[in-house]
Chains A and B, each alone.
Chain A
Amino acid sequence: DVQLVESGGGLIQPGGSLRLSCTVSGFTVSDIYMTWVRQAPGKGLEWVSTLYSVGSTHYADSVKGRFTISRDISQNTLFLQMDNLRTEDTAVYYCASCSGDSCYSAYWGQGTLVTVSS
C-alpha cells in the first residue's frame, strides 16, 4: 500500500527555519514527481514546490529563495527546508505524489502544521 507520512511541523518564530519530512512507502521517492501543497487555516490549497524524478526543482514565487525541496533515496523521504519563515507561511503542509508527469495527486500525506508566530 502507498503511504506518505509527514513530520517536522511546529511553532516557529518569524525568520526561523524548519525542515519538513515526508516518508514514503509503496513506491520509490525518486521514481515519481513529488510535490508539497499547503493550506492556510480556513483557506484553500496552494502549490508550494515540486521535485521531478530527474532532480529538477520548482517553486512558487511566494517561497522561491526561502524554501528548498530535496529527497533522500536511502530513507525514501522527501524534504522541505523552510528558511526565513514568515507569518504568512502558517499552514498545514501536505506532501503528495504526482501521477506520471501530470501533477494531479491520488496520494497525499495527512499533513503537518507549521505555525509561524512570535
Chain B
Amino acid sequence: IVMTQSPDSLAVSLGERATINCKSSQTILYNSNNNNYLAWYQQKPGQPPKLLISWASTRESGVPDRFSGSGSGTDFTLTISSLQAEDVAVYYCQQYLSSPQITFGQGTRLEI
C-alpha cells in the first residue's frame, strides 16, 4: 500500500491552522470492524518519531488537543488547529492494515 502525503512542505503562521493530507493507494478501512488502520507521527530533528494519532482519529495520551485526525477509506487529514512554535517538525502518516508490511508517507515538513 503506497501512502502519499501533500504538501511536501508547509509554512503556517503562529496561531493559524495547519492541514496535512495523506492518501492511500487502496482502502485502509477494514470493513469487519469499521476501523481505519492509519497513524500519524511527529518527528523533530535528531529524535525518533512520536505517535500522535492512531486509528485515524484517536489521539494518544498527552498529545495536545490542537492535533486532530480525520478521514476514512483512502483520504485522511491531520489538522493542527492553532500552530505553536514547538509544532515545527516533519509529520508522517503510516498505514498498518497490511501489518507487518507497514508503509509510511514521504513526510510533510511544517515550518513557521
Enumerate chain A interface residues (CB-CB to B < 8 A): 33, 35, 44-47, 50, 52, 58, 60, 94, 96, 98-99, 101-106, 108-111
Contact = CB atoms under 8 A, between A and B. Distances in A.
B48 interface: yes
B96 A104 contact: yes
A91 to B, nearest CB: 13
Contacts of B47: 110
Interface stretch (B10-18, B71-79, B81-89, B101-109): B101-109
Nearest to A99: B54
Given A106-B51, A106-B60, A44 B99 contact: no
B100 A35 contact: yes
A108 B48 contact: yes
Given A94-B48, A108-B48, A108-B49, A102 B99 contact: yes
A63 to B, nearest CB: 12
Contacts of A33: 99-100
Contacts, number: 58
B39 interface: yes
Contact of B100 (A45, A50, A94, A99): A50
Chain A, interface SS category: strand
Contact of A58 (B48, B54, B100): B100
A60 B104 contact: no
A45 B60 CA distance: 20
A94 to B, nearest CB: 5
29 contacts: A33-B100, A35-B100, A44-B104, A44-B105, A44-B106, A44-B107, A45-B41, A45-B49, A45-B104, A46-B104, A47-B102, A47-B104, A50-B99, A50-B100, A52-B100, A58-B100, A94-B48, A94-B49, A98-B99, A103-B100, A103-B102, A104-B39, A104-B51, A104-B54, A104-B96, A104-B102, A106-B51, A109-B48, A110-B47
